[in-house]
Structure 1
Amino acid sequence: MLKSARTANKAPKDPEGRMPLVEHLRELRNRLVKALLAIVPLMIIALFVAKDIGDFITDPLPLCTSDAEARALAEQGERCARLTHQGLTSPFGTYVKIALITALVAAAPVWLYQMWAFIAPGLHRHEKKYAMSTVAFGTPLFLTGAALARWVLPHAIPVLLGFSLDDSENLVTVDDMIDVSIKLVLAFGLAFQLPLVLVLLNLGGVITGKRMLGWWRGMVLGISIFSAMVTPTDPLSMLVLAVPITALYFGATGFALLNDRRRQASDPDAHLADDEASELDLTPEPVRASPRVPGQSDAARHDGFDDAT
């Protein structure tokens, strides 16, 4: 009985997803609470395995076991480092930081769904289809970029340590190592989203494949500059990021060209702007005789036409 009364008092939902500002804020609050309910328990669980995760993140760093080993490597032109914590509370802060990052990654399906559920009522049907495709293709692309970043780290760190002065000792903090790893993973993962963004812009009619193909020189140069900025200074890291993104860009361009051809075949006027008129078909057509009005005799028609036609 109480449930029926609540159902009767509940306002009906707008079929187009419209609601007052207060309802939007209440909906946002509920979505955030549900996301936190998934993140907080995972963070507590991750605290128990934060040490193993931290060891995995700092594994690419070549460590010195003794001063003698550091001197021997320095004579051979190689460098190693000592992993340190700064401050009394730094180890605990590192544990919390690793646990939070792990929980955010593990709970990504939950908070991504909550974000999607918040914006989905205001999208059209084709926009929802594109959004789902973005998640389906964007996740493997991001994971591929993250895997490449993980592969680059063991090759890039010795190059960075090689710039050390002869009589210097490398002290690398755990926080610094975590920050470098996260930034590199994010840079690689987000860079791999470029072809997906271009494909979505083409599907939305914003850019054409012909225009994307005309950008290839500037895009290759821009991708190379971006790769040199976000990766360490060695050429290998730059090539590992630049070559796949360039290949994905040309793949997205090929998809856009095929999509434009398909769109042109189904709609000859698809290439026209909104304020541009289509060409007129001025081919003459034969004029057929008009149908006879009921009650009209054939004598009133001359060569199949009456006085009106």
Structure 2
Amino acid sequence: MARRRDPEGRMPLGEHLRELRARILKSLLAILVGAGVSYAFFNPIWSILRRPYCQVHQPHSIATTANGCGDLVFSSVFDPIIWHLKVAAIGGILLASPIWLYQLWAFVTPGLHKNERRYALQFVATAVPLFCGGATLAYFVMSKGLQVLLNFAPAGTVSLISIDHYLTYILAMLLIFGLSFDIPLLVVLLNRIGILSYRRLAKSRRISYFLAFVFSAVVTPSGDPFTMLALGVPLVVLLETATQIARIHDARKARAPAATAYAHLSDDEPSPLDLSTG
């Protein structure tokens, strides 16, 4: 007999852990399917992923290919297999982003009121384009970040960049930029459910912007100033956009008639009675 879910989302710790495990397994399965599809299109995906590296001018590279790309090296007989699997994994994560982002939301929603769970579709419909937008920005700034780093190489040195390190760098950049672009969406959702007000967001605006740049400096894998600014500036713009959305939402909420004062209550929760006019 299936166990009935608590309408308020309360459950023992063991059930929370089982719920988390189920969500993770669904996300991994979706990524695995996406990776299988990406593996079938390995050559065009690898060509796209390699392009930022080809745009880097490398005076210290040991050799260049016919199209001007510096050589990427490997030192193990198993590296080509790992190389194919990593490229497939990158494609799988991007293709499955709508599913694992939804699973992330679905794990949070049991603790929300019924009228707050309607934000699920809005969350996924907004989170996926933001994630893809961040990943796209990362793709276009990677060549600049690599160029800055390689320019520090002194004369008389040779760059031997391994395929494994390069793919790790790409995966980190795509995930960090993509997930960072979803942070302002979390701010909007916390405002919608009454946890963060516009007044609090406006009061902490300066510290939020400062922390956004600190966050960008810490999480970017290259650590160069260009990549930090490439993430920090859009993140500040998105945070300000989230703050203005919160301002509009709180203003509408303040103008709402008194009859909607109990709109936050669930359908089966009684509103308080006013006995002062009895």
Q: Measured at CA, do residues 42 and 173 of structure 1 come closer, stay the same or move farther in structure 2, by a change above 3 Å?
A: same
Displacement after TM superposition at 1:121 (Å):
6.2
- Structure 1 match to 2:128: 139
Question: Residue 260 of structure 1 is aligned with which of 246, 250, 266?
Answer: 250
Q: Measured at CA, do residues 265 and 151 of structure 1 come closer, stay the same or move farther in structure 2, by a change above 3 Å?
A: same
Amino acid of the structure 2 residue aligned with 1:60 = P
Question: Residue 215 of structure 1 is aligned with which of 190, 204, 218?
Answer: 204
Task: Name the CA distance, whole Å, in 1 between partners of 2:123 and 2:250.
Answer: 20
- Structure 2 match to 1:182: 171
Secondary structure (helix, strand or coil) at the match of 1:163 reads coil
Q: Measured at CA, do residues 57 and 198 of structure 1 come closer, stay the same or move farther in structure 2, by a change above 3 Å?
A: same
Q: Could you state the TM-score of these two structures normalised by the residue count of structure 2? A: 0.73
Task: Name the CA distance, whole Å, in 2 between partners of 1:63 and 1:148.
Answer: 16
Q: Measured at CA, do residues 55 and 221 of structure 1 come closer, stay the same or move farther in structure 2, by a change above 3 Å?
A: same
Q: Percent identity?
A: 37
Q: Is the 8 A contact 1:63 1:82 kept in 2?
A: no
Unaligned 5+ segments in structure 1 are: 1-9, 74-79, 271-309
Deviations 1:275-304 (A, max 9, x none): xxxxxxxxxxxxxxxxxxxxxxxxxxxxxx
Displacement after TM superposition at 1:49 (Å):
2.5
* 1:1-309 aligned within 5 A: 16=7, 38-62=30-54, 70=61, 81-112=70-101, 123-231=112-220, 232-266=222-256
* Larger radius of gyration between Structure 1 and Structure 2: 1
Task: Name the CA distance, whole Å, in 2 between partners of 1:30 and 1:72.
Answer: 48
Secondary structure (helix, strand or coil) at the match of 1:101 reads helix
Task: Name the CA distance, whole Å, in 2 between partners of 1:23 and 1:104.
Answer: 27
Say which structure, 1 or 2, has more relative contact order (CA 8 Å, 6+ apart).
2
Unaligned 5+ segments in structure 2 are: 262-278
Amino acid of the structure 2 residue aligned with 1:247 = V
Deviations 1:38-97 (A, max 9, x none): 554543443333243223212211489999x95999xxxxxx853111211111111122
Task: Name the CA distance, whole Å, in 2 between partners of 1:64 and 1:118.
Answer: 42
Secondary structure (helix, strand or coil) at the match of 1:158 reads helix
Q: Is the 8 A contact 1:146 1:189 kept in 2?
A: yes
Task: Name the CA distance, whole Å, in 2 between partners of 1:72 and 1:118.
Answer: 50
Secondary structure (helix, strand or coil) at the match of 2:161 reads strand
